[in-house]
Homo-oligomer: A and B are copies of this chain.
Amino acid sequence: MSVEQHIIISGVEPVIDCGRYPVKRIAGESCTIRACVFRDGPDVIRTAVHWRAPGAKPPAEIPMRAENPGLDLWLAEVQTAENGRYRFSIAAWTDAYATWADELRRKVGGERTDLASEYAEGAALVETALRRAEGNEKALLAKVLAGLRGGAPVPEAALALAGGGEVCGLMARLQERGDLVVSDEYEIVADRPRARTGAWYEMFVRSQGTKPGSSGTFRDAEARLADIRDMGFDVVYLAPIHPIGRTGRKGRNNTLNPQPGDPGSPWAIGSEHGGHDAVEPALGTVADFERFVAAARKLGLEVALDFAVQCSPDHPWVRAHPEWFYRRPDGTLKYAENPPKKYEDIHPLNFDCEARWELWQEIRRVLEVWIRRGVTIFRVDNPHTKPVRFWRWLIEEVQAQHPGVLFLAEAFTRPPMMKELGKAGFTQSYTYFTWRNAKAEIIEYLTELTQSGMEEYFRPNFFVNTPDILHEYLQHGGRPAFKIRLCLAATLSPSYGIYSGFELCENVPLKPGSEEYLDSEKYEIKVRDWDAPGNIKDYVRRINAIRRENPSLAEFTNLRFLPSDSDQILSYAKLSADCSNVILVVLNLDPHGAHECTVRVPPEVLGLQSGARFEVHDLVTGARYDWGERNYVRLDPAVEPAHILRVETQR
């Protein structure tokens, strides 16, 4: 005969989409599991988290404690120590003995002193548990039993004997969980710290050489690593390194008539030299690539590869697997287009084809090849044009073997798809950051990213520019604009990046109103003087050092905007959990002129009393200031557009 179900488990956190997708956490940090658990009547319940670590380990049971009894809220801290996927559910059951002891406790001092019936009830519970006890536990329970059944103790004595913490704890462990309820199981992905925090540097290998017109190689790229590390970056992200097709190749500035020597777009993947598992011969060999990766690792740099699931007309798959592509009625394969735009150098893959399972497997195999060659991160091109379900499968498959491999989604599309890709498994995502330049829109967007619930599954990577995006703000703002955007990205988000050339303040668009670069590196080899005058490398170096030295900048949701009475000056605080590391950023968003204002730091933000003063140390200039609740600030972008202030002493 089954037992009546009394207990309700609701409001389990952290859960997204009713548990359809996992939430994200960082391995090595603790995680708080919460639930609202209650039942009818006054009976006492117990709750616990059933916690399953990655692998086949048996689940652990972690008792929850009452966080807010008035709202039936329970909580437990769990450790996501390993990089992998955890599963948890909430278990709850009625503790009959604790219920009995609680009623006894409340009857002590009451009108009735003959509680023989109550004692008999408690004795019955103890007797049942006694059968499962051993050793000292058995002795203790026997004593309780004897006391309750024997000498009719006064209520206070009975309570002392049978209602103490040790006996109740023992009974909690031994008694049956007659009405045990277990919730659905939910998943948490615990990623390694790089999933949240890192400074990224994007470059084209072919442009790392020193001879104009000649392709740079992996060796040239290797020679740049020391400088990239010196600037303080953690990840080197390479535009595609695969063989580039000839058919339909684009010329400089995306023209349709390539000249001999035009290298084409690296995203037109595949030639007679191979496809997604091969390297463009002009860059070197696979061994050269592996050497490059090893050199990077030695410097503490990770290598991220661009991963674009598409093919040039010359890709080996076109001949070997025509069934993987879209076919026109005349039998020819379709190139990519987004009318009126046409991309004759690219064939999209048909994820509706009958042979799609083989396609999925091949893509999986390609990733495995690169992982074996030392790649730890994939930046995925346009995932929003392939089924979400495919990405979920691919990422889960890869991470089951390699939990430390990260995936960055480059999906500039509508918000629901961007969010779904994050939920489905992408470790990080590009965002609308480049188009958020004014104060109000920055505040609105960062508030959404840090507080709307997105923070459970969506990790932004604030690239300040990309080969496709040179925002107007940078085109017209001069060198100060580059410092402003770098400071914003690097202090608002633990993961941010620059596309090489940004440090040189490259800012010439294809034409007015365009976000494309003139003479874009997508269509030609660019040889740069990496120390060209006017560069902001010192600033980049300083900002990255500040990030590394201040742990509050390695988190994301610890952001709080501070009021300032100028719409050109943005101010915010980044606070570590115990306030041991507090960074205040005050930033002039206008690259053209100085502005001044009063920045208000409400005392409670720093846990201070009203009227308290504190010293701030400008980590960019070294200056120190005495601050309080209201502070005058003037920032000239031609000098320094931003204060990055560490709160150092409180007076």
Contact = CB atoms under 8 A, between A and B. Distances in A.
A4 B389 CA distance: 9
A394 to B, nearest CB: 14
A621 B1 CA distance: 66
Interface string A375-414: 0000000001111110000000000000000000000001
A121 interface: yes
A131 interface: no
A9 to B, nearest CB: 11
Interface stretch (A232-240, A349-357, A582-590): A349-357
Contacts of A10: 17, 416, 420
A11 B453 CA distance: 13
Contacts of A8: 388, 416-417, 420
B329 A120 contact: yes
Interface stretch (A35-43, A366-374, A547-555, A632-640): A35-43
Contacts of A291: none
Interface stretch (A103-111, A165-173, A470-478, A510-518): A103-111
B338 A42 contact: yes
B5 A330 contact: no
Contact of A356 (B4, B41, B120, B332): B4
B387 A4 contact: yes
A454 to B, nearest CB: 13
A329 B117 contact: yes
B417 A40 contact: yes
A110 B339 contact: yes
Contacts of A332: 117
B121 A387 contact: no
A577 interface: no
A124 interface: yes
A651 interface: no
A132 interface: no
Contact of A414 (B17, B72, B110, B351): B72
Contacts of A1: 354
A414 B384 contact: no
Nearest to A119: B329
A4 B415 contact: no
A71 B329 CA distance: 34
Contacts of A417: 8, 38, 40, 72
A607 interface: no
Contact of A103 (B72, B339, B386): B339
B106 A387 contact: no
Nearest to A37: B416
Contact of A416 (B36, B103, B416): B36
Interface string A315-341: 000000000000011101000001110
Contacts of A387: 4-6, 40
Contacts of A388: 8, 40
Interface string A101-140: 0010011011100001100110010000000000000000
B4 A330 contact: no
A56 interface: no
A533 interface: no
Contact of A40 (B17, B18, B106, B384): B384
Nearest to A18: B18
Interface in A14-48: 17-18, 36, 38, 40-42
A98 B338 CA distance: 15
A414 to B, nearest CB: 6
Interface in A62-87: 70-72
A387 B40 CA distance: 6
B40 A385 contact: yes
A72 B415 CA distance: 9
A3 interface: yes
Counting chain B CB atoms within 10 Å of each CB, the highest count among A72, A352, A384, A387 belongs to A387
Given A40-B388, A71-B414, A71-B416, 11 more contacts: A4-B351, A4-B352, A4-B389, A5-B389, A10-B420, A40-B384, A42-B385, A110-B339, A116-B330, A120-B329, A120-B330
Interface of A: 1, 3-6, 8, 10-11, 17-18, 36, 38, 40-42, 70-72, 103, 106-107, 109-111, 116-117, 120-121, 124, 328-330, 332, 338-340, 342, 351-352, 354, 356, 384-389, 414-417, 420
5 contacts: A4-B356, A8-B420, A72-B414, A72-B416, A121-B329
